A and B are shown apart, each in its own frame.
Chain A
Amino acid sequence: MSVVTNTTTIGAINAPSRRNTELMMMVFAIAISVFAYANVGLALDGKLPSGMFGYGAGLILLGGVAHLVVRKFAPYADPLLLPLATLLNGLGLVLIWRLDQSERLIRRAEFLYGSYSPDAPKQLLYSAIGVAFFAAVLMVLKDHRILQRYTYISMAAALVLLIIPMFFPPVNGAKIWISVGSFTIQPGEFAKILIAIFFSGYLMVKRDALALASRRFMGLYLPRGRDLGPIITIWALSILILVFETDLGTSLLFFGLFVIMLYVATERTSWIVFGLLMSAAGAVGVASFEPHVQERVNAWLDPFGKATMAQSDQIAQSLMSFGSGGTIGTGLGQGHSDLIMFAANADFILSTVGEELGLAGMMAVLLIYGLIVERGIRTALAARDPFGKLLAAGLSGAFAIQVFVVAGGVMGLIPLSGMTMPFLAYGGSSVLANWALIGILIRISDTARRPAPAPAPSTDAEMTQVVRP
């Protein structure tokens, strides 16, 4: 017997469903959140907070429903995605509740709006709606390939969602909100899912042309001129978003997602090089004439400067809170991140993590985000159909970009943009959209990890076997 080649086939063995692992991790995640809640209460008032029971019961209910839905509708799904999302959502609730207790923020709200209402109950309600969304996605979407039919519809819907906010008055300088009465939503959060669906459907069809037709030049594959069409269109669109909505985050998310998915679809490094060059050129170009973007860039370059401090000291306060947190933090409930004042529990919630949990806690939280992205990419690797692969890679890419843009903005690595930390930050649209995103990832991972695919009526799945004479 002589085995000469290194031809290897890697496939999943009949994987156990791992729902019990998930249940264990869910219990762990909820226990950590309740511990955090008790910790905040003890630090602030010296006694266990009175709302702890109701809050814990709420989390257990939400987590239990989500887990049972996964058990019923996606039995082979990845065991980590749900617990990781639950932990982030629970921690977010604790941090929002902790900031609700801040005298400073209460006084500010009473001064500005005449009354004060805590955000944590609202966030708990949003989380409940988010979990309902998650359950609905798993129940309605029996097979993620159905989404492929709506490739161009989702493009149109995403464009509408991205364009509508232009016609609404800007909130804090950026036009990323749709407001109907007292009810506001941030459509960009939902657009990212639709965009990922469109790109996957589009690139699945076009990947051959984009990957094969190219010339080699200085170690890079240069695409043909006419294949540059779509990337230039998307680039132009993202620049338009930046100009008209003055929102760096959405623009970066939109374009970055496209570049990531192009790379995944074609395996050509040149797209990344092009993408980075184009987005750098675009951002610098727009920053040179758009005053709102300019202001943000100045605040990033010189957060403690006179001009910046006259506008807003948010970034300066945020940097100070990271600094005062140090390595292991001041302890939950004992920091002063409420000095950030505006959006302390939304865009800047990471500063509270940085101050009260320190570098150690910050790293853990970022690792949890990293693990969600890793599970998404792993799902993409395991998925059998190209659409599922692209969609899973795209959704986790969008998630990763969003985390990077927010964390980078808050820490002063890149200019601040109007996006929120997924799950952690206060905001209905964000929580809803991200639960839906996790729902789709769980659906894809269920299909991908399901052992021995039953001979499905649709024969898209590619099946390979070895038969020896």
Chain B
Amino acid sequence: MSELTLTVMRLGFLAVLWLFVIVAVQVIRSDLFGTRVTQRGSRRTASDARPPQARQNNAAPPQQRQQPGRQRRGAPTKLVVSEGTLTGTTVALQGQTITLGRAHDSTIVLDDDYASSRHARIYPDRDGQWIVEDLGSTNGTYLDRTRLTTPTPVPLGAPIRIGKTVIELRK
């Protein structure tokens, strides 16, 4: 085999190897565009921002579906943010623990100067009663007017206050 052929093959192989890497990176690029970024306004007036929200509503129905029979009569079905920057956000209560805080992995990521990164969590106890627990936050979690010291059951419609954010459980 001539020297020239081998040299061409050597360079060709390296080129092909790198081409593979580059194609792979191109495939990854689609990840960046394969995500949906939704901007949420802080005021109700921002609800004119239809396009991103319309998409969300499309995605919502399968999640909104209730599971009758699993929940007690009179049990809350959703958690609603009624004041603060996230006003209007709701989370369906389906037996999962809801974490509140500024940390990115919280269920509800609070954008509130008075919230700690892991501020509080809301979870169902064995009987399906929803409990709110403060996770050692700096500024405290308030149920109505009282600052929480221990995990406390949340009555329907009682305001849970974290900084400027108010959260309620609703039917």
Contact = CB atoms under 8 A, between A and B. Distances in A.
A39 B12 CA distance: 10
A252 B11 CA distance: 37
A466 B16 contact: no
A13 B34 contact: yes
Nearest to B25: A371
A140 interface: no
A272 B86 CA distance: 34
B73 interface: no
A361 to B, nearest CB: 6
Given A1-B45, A35-B16, A9 B38 contact: yes
A365 B14 CA distance: 10
Contact of B14 (A9, A211, A361): A361
B89 interface: yes
Contacts of B37: 8-10
Contacts of A452: 59, 62
A4 B34 contact: no
Contacts of A182: none
B13 A357 contact: yes
Nearest to A45: B1
B11 A7 contact: no
A466 B88 contact: yes
A39 B21 contact: no
Among A6, A87, A467, the most chain B Cβ lie within 10 Å of the Cβ of A467
Contacts of B44: 469
Interface in A1-52: 1-13, 15, 18, 21, 25, 28-29, 32, 35-36, 39, 42-43, 46
Interface residues of A, number: 70
Interface in B73-111: 85-86, 88-92, 94-96, 98, 103, 105, 107-109, 111
B56 A7 contact: no
Contacts of B57: 467
A378 B34 CA distance: 13
A461 B94 CA distance: 9
Nearest to B66: A455
B60 A465 contact: yes
Contacts, number: 194
B146 interface: no
B14 A2 contact: no
A1 B20 contact: no
B41 interface: yes
A82 B6 CA distance: 30
B7 interface: yes
Contact of B92 (A358, A367, A463): A463
B150 interface: no
B133 to A, nearest CB: 10
Interface size grouping (class) on chain B: 35 or more
A463 B98 CA distance: 10
A349 B63 CA distance: 51
A6 B42 CA distance: 9
B94 A459 contact: yes
Interface in B1-35: 1, 5-7, 9-14, 16-18, 20-21, 23-25, 27-28, 30-31, 34-35
A213 B45 contact: no
A82 to B, nearest CB: 12
B17 A32 contact: yes
B152 interface: no
A80 B24 contact: yes
Interface in A351-386: 357-358, 360-361, 364-365, 367-368, 371, 374-375, 378, 386
B135 interface: yes
B67 to A, nearest CB: 8
A15 B35 CA distance: 9
B105 A2 contact: no
19 contacts: A2-B45, A4-B43, A7-B111, A9-B40, A35-B12, A35-B13, A36-B13, A43-B6, A80-B28, A329-B14, A330-B10, A364-B17, A371-B21, A378-B31, A460-B96, A461-B96, A463-B63, A463-B91, A466-B56
